[in-house]
Amino acid sequence: MRKSGGKQVEEDLHQGAGLYPGPYFDNSLTKIVRARKGSHAYLSCRVHQLDNKSVSWVRRKDAHIISVGESSFIQDPRFRVYHFPRDHMWTLQIQDVRPEDSGEYECQISTEPKRSFLVLLKVLPQLFHI
């Protein structure tokens, strides 16, 4: 806060707002996602000030580009990307998660150098009910 003419004025302290040129991530989102085997996992990143840059999802263990923008570059139909422009949100959905889906996924902005937000997916065993 700062004083202006005797009144308290809140400054915009949102991370990156007005501080960084170009796009930046909202680092308040979760960086660890847990999902049970067979369920759906949702990995999200929020990108502000994207302008004309693109957002990609990359699987780190094999550097496979899953998507660029809303276009998919993976043969596995379990992977889908959703963009919610109003919230600046990019969400990678993995349906019917498997143990081999565990690992780091990178939400990447096409700046030079690249800017990344890492999300770790942990696949938990299924629960059995008797």
pTM exceeds 0.85: no
| Superfamily of segment(s) 31-124 | Immunoglobulins (2.60.40.10)
Give the number of other CB atoms < 10 A from CB of residue 33. 18
CA distance 89 to 48: 9
In angstroms, how far is CA 99 from the centroid of its own chain? 20
What are the residue ranges spanned by the domains of the chain?
A: 31-124
Looking at residues 18-28, what average pLDDT do you find? 83
Amino acid identity for residue 27 in this structure: N
pLDDT tens profile 24-63: 999 999 999 999 999 999 999 999 999 999 999 999 999 9
Alpha helix ranges (H) inside the chain? none
Radius of gyration for the alpha carbons in the chain, expressed in angstroms and rounded: 18
